Amino acid sequence: MTTEENALGYAWSAVQDAPVCELFPGIRLRPLWKGDNGAGAYVLEMDANTCWQGIDVHDPGPEEVFVVSGTFNDGDRDYPAGSFIHAPAGSSHVPQTTTGCTLFLFYPEG
């Protein structure tokens, strides 16, 4: 993870410089920032017609999702670009997309 920090504690990184981890075929995770308490910020890229393998359970804390582009589906409904989703701790879903999508993910508790 390439994250820079200044004297005031501000941290920043560029998506294109973040390492790519392929979680499943056509689904890539790019870490942007990791906090001391386990919090983390990521970009998730999903190609068209991809589906998470298994159930994504939010543990130990919640997941915050912002749909940057495309249409994301959580196994229940579609969320177009510009949508925000709060998934509480203990909830679960099956991330998928028919169009492809890019998501910003934030885990405040790891």
**pLDDT at residue 9 in the model:** 78
Phi, psi of 39 (to 5 degrees): -60, 155
CB contact at 8 A, 108 and 64: yes
pTM value? 0.90
So what's the pLDDT on residue 12?
A: 83
pLDDT in tens, the chain (110 residues): 556 667 677 888 899 999 999 999 999 999 999 998 889 999 999 999 999 999 999 999 999 999 999 999 999 999 999 999 999 999 999 999 999 999 999 999 98
Which CATH entry fits the domain spanning 20-107: 3.40.50.11740, 1.10.10.10, 2.40.110.10, 2.60.120.10?
Answer: 2.60.120.10
End-to-end CA distance of the chain: 16
Q: What is the CA radius of gyration of the chain?
A: 14
pLDDT for 5: 67
